[in-house]
Each structure stands twice: as structure tokens, then as C-alpha cells.
């Protein structure tokens, strides 16, 4: 088989039907017929719907060229005005991995996964260009530009995640890099006006680690027509709470509803693990966010 010319079949979700994939994704929370069971379907969409975050990885290394394939996929995502405001850094050094894991609240999978990628919202590259060309970039200090850099990095990373899933790999995003962006920047030698927006673990799932597809809110809550419509929200949330409680019991022991989880996560500032300092820290790293 010549990998240069012959696409091989996706392996992560082969044979899953649309009805089965939708049932896993929405559980019993979705109102009947929402989403409809007819509609387009193919292997790529099966792979997308089969996504689940995985926190237990085998030590097996990735095949040669995998990293570059993931980055090519990432670069193929749209980027605002082709500004390409992101950079990725791989971290292999065990000591650095260990400290990053500690910053993230002792997430051991950061140490254990075969590939750890940091995704950087990066205004520094284009600033270096402007310095070389002796032209000022007046747009850098604004919230808009910060927002574009974060969105650019997210679009790129998500393409890498989709590519990884299509290769039978699993991933988990690590938002907790933002617990201490200054120390993370120091560890990676980042220039001013760049910071790690999030990390990403990539590897083969440990078959011993449970990783069922997590149900989401019914579409009636997240998809509206013409104008915002919160009407179905209460009904949907009650159904979803029940569904996520069952999911939690099956997978994470503590049977907790979505409502209770969100209130615990978004209620107290203490739950932010230091991320309430993000604005002040980013200011020190060169982001004015005016």
C-alpha cells in the first residue's frame, strides 16, 4: 500500500450508523425526532460524532509523519485575513512535562501521552515582521486582535483533533495551561505578545480507561432560527440533567447532574484555579487587551 497515493480508510468509527451516533451523542435527552434520523452521513461525520476526550493513553509512539500531518491539517483551517496568529510547540522533555502537569492541577496524562502540543495565541511573529519592515502594527493592543488570535488557534487545533481522531488517535484539550500562563511562557521561552491558550494531549487511548461519548444538550437548546429562543431550555435542561447523571454514574462515579456541575464549575471564583488573574498576567506578557 503506497501511502503517497492511496487514502486508507478511517478506523476510529467505522460502521457506526447515523441513528446510533446521534443516540450516543444526545442520549435520551433529545426530544423525539430532534435531530432527525434522516440526513447526510459519511465516515468523516461518523468520526466527528464519535469524538470523546480521553485522559488515559498507551505509551505507544505515533507513526512517523503524524505530527506534521496534524499540523498540516491545523494550517488548513481558516485564519482571519490569513494572519495565521498561532504557533504550536511540542514538549517532550520529561521535566517540562512534569511541571506543566503540575500547573494543570496534576493532570498525569500530560506526562504520559506520546505527543503534547501547546497551542499559542501568537501576535509576536507578525510584530517581528513589522519591526523588520519598520512599520507599526496599531491593531495589536485591542481585544479584537486578542480574540482573533484565540479563535485562530482554536480553529487550527480543532482540525488537528479531527485529523488525530481519523487516524485512530484520541486527544484531550488542556485549558489549565491558563492556570499560570507566565510560568508556561517561561518554560517554553515564549516571546512577549504570545501565550499558551491551551494544550493538547494526543495518543492511542488506553483500552482500560473508560471513555464513552458524552451526551450534549438537545439541539433545541443550542440551535435557534432567526432569533434567540430560550423557550425549550427548561424542558431540555431537566432531560439533560437526568441523562448526564446517568452518564456520570456509568463513567465518573459521582452521579451529578449538568446543572450541579456547571454551578460548581462556574459559581465560585475558587473554581477558576487562578485563571481570574488571566487579564493581569497577560498584561505582563504584552497583551494590553484594550
Report the DSSP beta bridge partners of residue 116.
201
Q: Is 105 in the site for a second copy (CB under 8 A)?
A: no
Q: Does 67 bind a second copy (CB under 8 A)?
A: yes
Q: Which is nearer to a second copy, 114 or 259 (CB)?
A: 259
**Is 97 one of the binding residues for a second copy (CB under 8 A)?**
no
Q: Is 256 in the site for a second copy (CB under 8 A)?
A: no
Does residue 267 touch a second copy according to CB under 8 A?
Answer: yes
Extract the C-alpha cell encoding 192: 512577549
Query: Would you count residue 251 as binding a second copy (CB under 8 A)?
Result: no
Angle 22-28-34 from CA coordinates, rounded to 5°: 55
Indicate whether 211 belongs to the interface with a second copy (CB under 8 A): no
Q: Is the dihedral of CA 165, 209, 273, 265 positive or negative?
A: positive
Angle at Cα 163 formed by Cα 248 and Cα 176, nearest 5°? 50
Minimum gap (Å) between residue 255 Cβ and a second copy: 15
- For residues 21 and 50, what is the distance between their CA atoms, to the nearest angstrom? 7
Question: Is residue 170 within the footprint of a second copy (CB under 8 A)?
Answer: no
Told to check if 107 binds a second copy by CB under 8 A, we report no
Q: Does 95 bind a second copy (CB under 8 A)?
A: no
| Piece of the chain touching a second copy by CB under 8 A; list 21-29, 105-113, 203-211 | 21-29
Tell me, rounded to whole angstroms, the distance of Cα 176 from its chain centroid. Answer: 12
Nearer residue to a second copy within complex by CB, 107 or 124: 124
Choose, by CB under 8 A, the member of 107, 112, 198, 245 that binds a second copy: 198
Q: Identify the residue among 23, 31, 41, 114 touching a second copy (CB under 8 A).
A: 41
CA gap 71, 157 in Å, rounded: 8
Cα 203 to Cα 46, 67, 124: the distances in Å are 20, 11, 30
- Which member of 94, 208, 227, 254 binds a second copy (CB under 8 A)? 227
Tell whether residue 138 is a contact of a second copy (CB under 8 A): yes
Q: Are 177 and 196 in contact (CB under 8 A)?
A: yes
CB of 257 to a second copy, least distance (A): 10
Of residues 59, 60, 61, 78, which one binds a second copy by CB under 8 A?
Answer: 78
Distance CA 127, CA 225 (A): 41
Q: Alpha carbon of 130 to those of 124, 134, 138, 239: distances in Å?
A: 10, 6, 10, 53
Residue closer to a second copy by CB (options 112, 194) is 194
Please say whether the dihedral angle defined by the alpha carbons of residues 125, 153, 197 and 88, taken in this order, is positive or negative.
negative
CB 59 to a second copy: min, Å: 19
Amino acid at each position: 500500500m503506497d501511502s503517497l497515493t492511496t487514502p486508507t480508510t478511517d478506523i476510529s468509527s467505522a460502521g457506526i450508523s447515523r441513528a446510533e451516533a446521534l443516540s450516543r451523542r444526545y442520549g435520551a435527552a433529545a426530544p423525539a425526532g430532534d435531530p432527525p434520523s434522516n440526513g447526510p452521513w459519511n465516515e468523516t461525520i461518523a468520526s466527528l460524532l464519535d469524538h470523546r476526550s480521553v485522559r488515559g493513553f498507551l505509551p505507544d509512539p505515533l507513526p512517523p509523519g503524524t505530527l506534521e500531518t496534524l499540523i498540516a491539517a491545523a494550517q488548513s483551517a481558516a485564519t482571519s485575513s490569513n494572519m495565521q496568529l498561532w504557533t504550536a510547540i511540542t514538549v517532550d522533555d520529561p521535566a517540562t512535562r512534569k511541571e506543566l502537569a503540575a500547573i494543570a492541577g496534576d493532570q498525569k496524562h500530560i506526562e504520559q501521552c506520546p505527543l503534547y502540543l501547546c497551542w499559542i495565541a501568537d501576535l509576536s511573529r507578525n510584530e517581528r515582521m513589522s519591526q523588520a519592515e519598520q512599520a507599526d502594527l496599531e491593531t495589536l493592543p485591542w481585544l479584537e486582535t486578542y480574540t482573533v488570535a484565540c479563535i485562530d488557534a482554536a480553529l487550527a487545533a480543532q482540525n488537528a483533533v479531527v485529523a488525530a481522531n481519523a487516524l485512530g488517535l484520541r486527544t484531550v484539550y488542556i485549558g489549565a495551561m491558563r492556570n499560570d500562563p507566565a510560568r508556561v511562557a517561561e518554560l517554553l521561552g515564549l516571546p512577549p505578545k504570545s501565550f499558551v491558550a491551551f494544550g493538547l494531549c494526543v495518543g492511542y487511548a488506553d483500552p482500560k480507561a473508560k471513555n464513552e461519548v458524552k451526551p450534549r444538550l438537545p439541539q433545541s437548546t443550542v440551535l435557534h432560527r432567526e432569533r434567540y429562543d430560550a423557550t425549550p431550555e427548561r424542558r431540555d435542561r431537566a432531560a439533560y440533567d437526568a441523562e448526564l447523571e446517568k452518564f456520570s454514574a456509568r463513567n465518573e462515579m459521582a452521579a451529578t447532574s449538568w446543572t450541579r456541575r456547571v454551578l460548581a464549575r462556574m459559581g465560585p471564583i475558587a473554581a477558576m484555579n487562578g485563571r481570574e488573574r488571566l487579564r493581569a498576567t497577560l498584561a505582563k506578557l504584552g497583551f494590553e487587551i484594550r
